[in-house]
Amino acid sequence: MRILSGLQPSGRLHIGNYFGMMEAALKLQHEGEAFYFIADYHSLTSIHDGKLLRSHVRDLAIDFLACGLDPAKCVFFRQSDVPEHTELAWILSTVTPMGLLERCHSYKDKTARGIAASHGLFAYPVLMAADILIYDSDLVPVGRDQKQHVEVTRDIAVKMNEAFGEGLLKIPTPRIREETAVVPGLDGQKMSKSYGNTIELFEEPAKLKKKIMGIPTDSTPVESPKPTEGSSILALYQLVATPADYDSMIADFQRGGIGYGEFKKRLLQAMTEHFAPYRERRAEIVANPSYVDHVLAEGAEKARAVARQTLRRVRDAVGLG
C-alpha cells in the first residue's frame, strides 16, 4: 500500500498542525510505503518572498524530522525537487472540466480571506491531483477540508483513463482523518495562524509560559467547581497528558478548591514534558545542517525514480516524446 501526504510550508508549525496532521503521518509511515512531501509549489500561491519560503521549507523539514519522521521508513522530499509534478499537472489540466474546478470550495474560501485570485490558486486541485497520481498512490489521508480535492483527483484520473486507456492512472482512495478534537487556540477558537491564537510546536519556554498562563478563563472563585464544558485548558491538557492525569484534572475541576492558575501550571508542565524529546532532537538536527540536505536530496532521488515511470507511461499514452 502506497501512502501519499503533503504539508505546505506556510510558517512555523503549531501544535494544531502536529495533532491534526503530523501525528497521524508519523504513525502511517509504519503501515505502508509512505511518500511525504513539502508542498512548496503550492505555497507559491500565497508566499511571494523567496527567502521566506526557503526558510519555511527548512523549518518544516527540521520539525518533521525532529518529531519522528524516519527517512528509512518513508520517502521525504521537497515537491519542487521533482519537476515531474508540474508536467503531469499540465497534462491533467487538458482533460479537467472547468466546471469541476469552479465547484471547489477551497478557491472561494481563500479568495474570501484575502488571498489574491490567481490561476495557480484556481488550478490548485489539478496540481494536487498530479501530486497524488504521479506516485500511483493507493491511500491519501486528508482532513475533511481536503476531501473534495481527493474526489477531484479521482474524477480527473477517470477522465484520463477514459481518454487514453483504462488503467493508465491508479484511482486513489481518501482516508478521512478524524481530527483529534479540534485543537483550541489561546482564545478558545480553532487554533489557526489567521486567528493569531497559536502555540508553536517549538515555542521558546518563556513565551510558552506566557501564552499558557494568559489563557482567558471565567471568574469562578477558587473554592467553587469549575465548568468543564468548553474549557481550553482541559482540551489542550487532554492532548499532552496521560489519561489518568486528564481524569484527575477533570475531577479537580468538578471538586473545586483549586484555581485556574494551578491548572495552567499543570498544562504548562505536561506540554513541556510531551515535546521535550522532540525539542532535544531538533537541537541535534539544527546543529548538523547537512543532515537535512542529505535527507531531502535522497528523498527526491527516490521520489523522482517513481515519478519518472508514471510520467513516461502518461507521455507515451498521450503521444508526447
Q: Is 147 a catalytic residue?
A: no
Q: Which residues contact 251 (CB under 8 A, 6 or more apart)?
A: none
Count Cα neighbours of 100 within 13 Å in the Cβ-side half-sphere.
Answer: 23
**Cα–Cα distance measured from residue 16 to residue 236, given in angstroms and rounded to the nearest whole number:** 10
Q: Which of 193, 209, 265, 302 is catalytic?
A: 193
Strand partners, 3: 34, 139
Q: Which of 73, 147, 170, 190 is catalytic?
A: 190
**Cα–Cα distance measured from residue 238 to residue 219, given in angstroms and rounded to the nearest whole number:** 23
Is the distance from CB of 1 to CB of 34 less than 8 angstroms? no
Is the distance from CB of 63 to CB of 13 less than 8 angstroms? yes
Give the dihedral of Cα atoms 238, 243, 248, 251; nearest 10 deg: 70
Q: Is 190 a catalytic residue?
A: yes
Is the distance from CB of 190 to CB of 16 less than 8 angstroms? yes
Q: And the C-alpha cell for 151?
A: 474526489
Count Cα neighbours of 17 within 13 Å in the Cβ-side half-sphere.
Answer: 21
Is the distance from CB of 82 to CB of 300 less than 8 angstroms? yes
Q: Which of 110, 147, 159, 265 is catalytic?
A: 110
Is the distance from CB of 123 to CB of 91 less than 8 angstroms? no
Active-site annotation, residues: 110, 190, 193
